[in-house]
Amino acid sequence: MYLPDIAGVLRRRWYVILAGALITMAVAVPAIRTQDRFLASEVLMTQPPVSQYAPNPVTGLYPSIAITAAAVASRLNTADAQDDFFSKGVTGTYRFEPRNTGTRQEPRYVIGSMSITYITTDEEESLRGLQVLRVTFEEELKAMQDEWNVKKDLRITVVSLVPPTSSLLTHSSIRSAMGVGILGVLLSTAVALWTDDFISRRRWRAARRLSTADSPNRPGTLARSAL
């Protein structure tokens, strides 16, 4: 189908294009008026206790500690944990991301850093929710060590590697409107082409049935003539 053919279809099915334009405008309004969102983030470091063999716990690689932190993060990213956070007022989108030096298919945890992110529509709320997430992470780590009966002088501790910050996520109303508009044009054109093809096929079938009914050479007519 060439461009003149498509233009002819769009002229014939102008009502489909009009309906698509109205729906596109209705969808574009909330897309343009999207609320501002703030991203709060903090990076934690899970470190071993200070000893004479490792006076600076931040240096060096501790895979066992990194895996322990990753296990706590995996537990806090579950649906049950989300319900618990929701009851504490954390209603936005959060994520615990342990430092992965491998790949998604084969993760490898050797560095005990943990990134916590929280997205919500208010800047102060983002920092408050981030604090709740950090405290919960520390409580989960402590509960795990309590369950294993780890001595206090041998426990894993948590320190802030990158302090909490909150930044406004950029949002372009023009790009949102352009995206919705392009999608609306493509879908409206596709629906108009399908509608035209569907109606043309129905008319062709109806005309064929009518011509068959009016034909004197129908099998039923020939049988009656023979009688």
The sheet that has 113-120: what strands, in order across it? 93-98, 113-120, 38-47, 157-168
pLDDT digits (tens, 9 = 90+) for 107-137: 888 888 899 999 999 999 999 999 999 999 9
117 is in which domain, residue-wise? 37-169
Examine the domain organization and report whether 186 and 97 are in the same domain. Answer: no
CATH number at residue 93: 3.30.70.1130
Question: Does a structural domain hold residue 225?
Answer: no
Question: Does a structural domain hold residue 219?
Answer: no
Question: Does a structural domain hold residue 183?
Answer: yes
Examine the domain organization and report whether 80 and 128 are in the same domain. Answer: yes
The total number of structural domains that make up the chain:
2
User: Considering the chain, what is the average pLDDT of its residues?
Assistant: 85
- Tell whether the model's pLDDT for residue 101 goes beyond 80: no
Average pLDDT value for residue range 67-84: 92
Its pTM stands at: 0.67
Strand 38-47 to 93-98 pairing: unpaired
Work out the pLDDT band at 225, boundaries 50, 70, 90.
Answer: very low
Examine the domain organization and report whether 110 and 178 are in the same domain. Answer: no
Short-list 33, 30, 28, CA closest to 177: 28
Average pLDDT value for residue range 123-152: 93
Examine the domain organization and report whether 72 and 121 are in the same domain. Answer: yes
Question: Does a structural domain hold residue 78?
Answer: yes
pLDDT digits (tens, 9 = 90+) for 162-206: 999 999 988 777 888 888 899 999 999 999 999 998 998 888 888
